[in-house]
A and B are shown apart, each in its own frame.
Chain A
Amino acid sequence: MNKHIIIGVSIAFVVSLTILFTMNFISQDPRTIENINEHPFFLSKLDSEKSSIFLIGHSHVGQLNTSKINQMISKNYNNIDIYNLAMYHDTPSSRLGQIDNLINLEPKIIFYGIAIADFLGPCKYSNDCHILGEKEQKLPDPKDILENLDIPKKIGIEKMNPKFTTLKFIREGFSGNSLFSEQGRRLQLENTPFYVIDDSYTRITSDSILKNSLIESSVNMINKKSIKNSNEIIHLRTIIEKIQEKDIKIILFKTPHHQYYIENIPIEAIRDYEMVLEKISSEMNIEIYDFFSSYKKLPIWVDLEHISYNEKATIYTEDVSKMILKEAKP
């Protein structure tokens, strides 16, 4: 009898996982692409008669309107194409894995948007990374054994967010119904292969909701974890070295954050962030542009870390375009 029960449990498990993978396959999303290096963008040939400029970083950069930037640049230079290669949850360590592919495409300049939370690494929103702080760990950690087994990767759910996949599938299924379709609409933007704008990223959020959303931002992790000795700094330096080795110009820019975000992180963290970037700038001879607090009080935010992709919130895109124009001068 026990055997039958175990078979029953196994069937239920397999069926539910199959359904999840099927939903994920039907509604494949850039957030769930496991190996970005296999993305068609890297197989395609860019226009050889034009120079390419890449914008990289995570969703802070993804929210830039690439079409508008291209329009603004084309007024001065008609032989430059701008590509926004932002990725969800990107950090220097994850970007390092595909930097060779980016370099092989021979861009003229790479603009890298760095947020303060990028130095937290993959733990920026996670609660699980601080159950027992590293300093308190006195004895060997059995978690390491399980982590080395890397089961989620083996069964293919490493980067999958099942809830996100399911909701996306439901929304697409109800696309005829205005109640669901409104939020479900997604925009794949021009020259932005790895980032999709959800409808929710186009709204401008009210001040009271922004105030309440602190808990969902990376503020908590910044309050708990020092960025000064982050491995992400080493990865960022490696990326820069690799780019500079190929004589490609690289520019860093500090991405914008909302006032509530800035006010709720320790002043030391901001100081460390600035110091780290200044040190990189002076030692590696790199220009850094600062948008960190440029728009902190403006009503243009989706949440505390992202400026809305909205026609009333183009100031960030315009300023980035100006930065590109300045740096693209021969």
Chain B
Amino acid sequence: MLFNSYEFVIFFILVLTVIVIIKHRQYQHLFIVGASYFFFYFSSNYLLSLLIASTVLDFYIAKEIWNTKNIKRKKILLSISLAGNLGLLGFFKYADFAIDQFNILGNYFDLGTSIPYLDLILPIGISFYTFQTISYTVDVYRGHLEPSKSFKEFALFVAFFPQLVAGPILRAKDFLPQLREKIDNSNSISKLRQITIHSTNLKIGITLMVFGFVKKMFFADNIAPLVNEIFANPIGLNSFEIWMGTLAFGIQIYGDFSGYSDIAIGAALILGFKIPLNFNKPYFATSPSDFWRRWHISLSTWLRDYLYIPLGGNKKSVNRTYLNLATVMFLGGLWHGASWNFVIWGMLHGGYLAIHKVISDKFPLLKENKFFKSKIGKIISILITQYLVFLAWIPFRVNDLDSIIYSMSKYIFFDFQTDGIFSFLVGHKLPVLLMILFISLNFILYSKPNLYSKISNLSLKYWTLFLTIAMIMIISFYNGDPVDFIYFKF
């Protein structure tokens, strides 16, 4: 079920209505679990069984890990959980990719290997919910989290519908406590939280959802045709066209994914749940590491906590730190899809992070330099960072190697072919105008923090006016066919 479909609107209204009608807190929670499973079943049908299997596996394994005192047994149990989750993810997501590589290698060495593809469907959201269950079990293993006593609560954590298919990746320690409320200020005794729809949450939630819909349906979906046209076959295009395509794709993917996250956060907030921020103005990042503190925050912090730090982080030798960075970004790239272009994207970012670290370590005073603290210095840092970030979007978007190399070389070595610029702009008026509008709005958002809450605090009259304008933008530019969110594929 796509957020940008009328089915979701009906579904969400029904969920809210039933929640208001059911007063019993046990049934409220049970109902959200059921609704989440229905939400998943709606688009994935029998693949719901995988979600349930992953939930059952980690619920019981985490319990066993917590109860056993034997370190070896703990490790075995953790390995089973990891093997189960990563096996599920690996099998469905990477089996055909592995077969492909095996066949290529076989042909290279004239072994005549030709293993047929499995042609499996990628279960929606599998990359997200397996990471959630892994983080839960690892946290229990590390002793950072007491396992959930209730299967229902754990199932809700794994399947909570607003973030089920494309994140943000939740942490159990953030989410599970929200299902309970303390009794009489006691720290230990708690009962299930009554789910009520508070007017403040409702207003902020709707505001966030509307922002998300505008980002996705007004901006991303209407900029997408320009991206598709340019990157379907970029070879032969000039630098200006490649730049426009890259810029358009950067805006499209940000609008698409952060739009989804806004809808998810807004929908959860209406139900009284706080989901952590997933994007924080990433295109205003002043360095590659700053970019990863702002882009897909739930994934980058997951990779940091469950991969980078266990590998040793930056606590070991300098070379080991670079190797860790490269490993994390390689796997982070591969997480996005079973394709080498995502690996190139990940490795490019790994390279950026490594170079940034080398410079920061060699010149520690650079950070304190007056110039880089000045406005102009900050602008230059942003421009350099974004030049690199947008360069990396090319392999993320383009599939074949020749096109990637061609596009990246045209991006880096600008060819100054200026004839045809005007006709290109006139021929793509709508996406170009939307890109300008999107960039302008982002500058406004940058200079006005907390815009969401400011809008939510408007009087009802002005808030309704805001909603009306936003809805006109969404509805009037909807092309009659809901377009998948890009991150649904990952």
- CB within 8 Å of B: which residues of A? 1-2, 4-5, 8-9, 11-13, 15-17, 19-20, 23, 125-128, 131-133, 136-139, 141-143, 146, 151-152, 157, 160-167, 179, 208-209, 211-216
Contacts and interface: CB of A to CB of B under 8 A. Distances in A.
Between A1, A5, A214, the greatest number of chain B beta carbons within 10 A of the residue's beta carbon is seen for: A5
A162 B121 contact: no
A16 B475 contact: yes
Contacts, number: 117
Contacts of B236: 208
Interface string B440-481: 000000000000000000001001100110111011111111
Interface string B123-149: 000000000000000000000000000
B471 A12 contact: yes
Interface string B46-89: 10000000000000000000000000000000000000000000
B45 A141 contact: yes
A132 B481 contact: no
Contact of A138 (B6, B46, B460): B46
30 contacts: A1-B199, A2-B199, A2-B202, A5-B199, A5-B203, A8-B464, A9-B467, A11-B464, A12-B467, A12-B468, A13-B471, A16-B468, A16-B472, A19-B476, A20-B472, A127-B481, A131-B43, A132-B45, A139-B45, A139-B46, A143-B42, A161-B479, A165-B476, A179-B429, A209-B229, A211-B233, A212-B232, A214-B232, A215-B232, A216-B225
Q: Which are the 10 A-B pairs with shortest beta-carbon distances?
A: A12-B467, A1-B199, A16-B471, A8-B464, A166-B476, A12-B468, A161-B480, A163-B479, A212-B232, A16-B472
A13 B121 CA distance: 37
Given A5-B202, A16-B471, A163 B426 contact: no
A136 B232 contact: no
B464 A12 contact: yes
Given A127-B483, A163-B479, A209-B229, A132 B43 contact: yes
B206 interface: yes
Nearest to A136: B121
Nearest to B465: A12
Nearest to B237: A208
Given A5-B460, A126-B481, A142 B228 contact: no
A131 B46 CA distance: 14
A123 to B, nearest CB: 10
A214 B484 CA distance: 19
Given A1-B199, A139-B45, A216 B467 contact: no
Given A127-B481, A161-B479, 13 more contacts: A9-B206, A16-B472, A20-B475, A133-B121, A138-B46, A152-B6, A160-B480, A163-B478, A167-B430, A208-B237, A209-B229, A211-B232, A214-B232
Contacts of A216: 225, 228-229
Nearest to A141: B45
Contacts of A126: 481
B75 to A, nearest CB: 37
A179 B479 CA distance: 23
B246 to A, nearest CB: 15
Interface string B225-260: 100111011001100000000000000000000000
